[in-house]
């Protein structure tokens, strides 16, 4: 249609070119809506967000199928109407999904933070713990601003860093315990050597 509009315009048939251009634009908008529907649905599936709003997701699928059938039968108005409703419902699922997801990730990050503090990771693994605190604080700011997507992503990062700080703390504890064990063994060996030397000296003095 776009090429036809261009040809008609070049030929001087401006009214027909206008109609063809309008039809081409309508076709483009329909295809764009279809592309957005596929993209939104894929994100919902990939992130597992359908569980947060199953009713809207199911209805969106039904309306999207109706839009496709209307498009294939040449009912452009029906395709657009159903397509716009499907896109609206998918976007609602995404919004509800990110809202619930941010709440879940916040709870997980808070739990991991408590565990890290209990193991004194804020002291033993100070740098990693502080890095986690930065993301945790940013997540809280995003949550307050109702930017649930960035809040969720930052809580994930904070949770991971708190977990890493715990692991680093555990590794340091194991190394410290091993160093103490080796030192105690050396002290014991030195004590035994000293006792043996003392017995030899005492035996020689007799």
The model's pLDDT over 171-200, given as tens digits with 9 standing for 90+, comes to: 988 887 778 777 777 777 666 665 555 555
Q: What is the average per-residue pLDDT within 145-158?
A: 96
Tell me: the pLDDT tens digits for 80-133? 889 999 999 999 999 999 999 999 999 999 999 999 999 999 999 999 999 999
Per the CB < 8 A criterion, the answer to whether 52 and 97 are in contact is: yes
pLDDT of residue 5: 36
CA angle 82, 44, 95 (to 5 degrees): 80
Tell me the DSSP string of 26-37. HHHHHHHHHHHH
Reply yes or no on whether the pLDDT at 78 is more than 70: yes
Per the CB < 8 A criterion, the answer to whether 75 and 25 are in contact is: no
């Amino acid at each position: 249609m776009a090429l036809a509009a261009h040809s008609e315009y070049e030929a001087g048939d401006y009214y027909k070119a206008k109609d063809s251009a309008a039809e081409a634009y309508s076709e483009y908008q329909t295809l764009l809506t279809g592309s957005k529907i596929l993209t939104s649905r894929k994100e919902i599936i990939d992130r597992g967000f359908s569980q947060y709003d199953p009713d809207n997701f199911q209805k969106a699928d039904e309306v999207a199928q109706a839009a496709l059938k209307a498009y294939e039968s040449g009912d452009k108005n029906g395709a657009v109407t159903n397509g716009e409703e499907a896109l609206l419902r998918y976007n609602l699922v995404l919004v509800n999904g990110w809202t619930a997801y941010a709440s879940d990730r916040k709870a997980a990050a808070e739990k991991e933070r408590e565990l890290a503090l209990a193991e004194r990771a804020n002291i033993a693994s100070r740098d990693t713990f502080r890095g986690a605190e930065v993301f945790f604080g940013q997540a809280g700011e995003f949550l307050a601003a109702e930017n649930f997507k960035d809040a969720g992503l930052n809580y994930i990062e904070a949770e991971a860093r708190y977990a890493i700080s715990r692991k680093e703390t555990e590794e340091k504890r194991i190394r410290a315990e091993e160093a103490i064990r080796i030192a105690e063994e050396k002290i014991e060996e030195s004590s035994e050597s000293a006792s043996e030397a003392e017995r030899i000296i005492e035996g020689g003095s007799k």
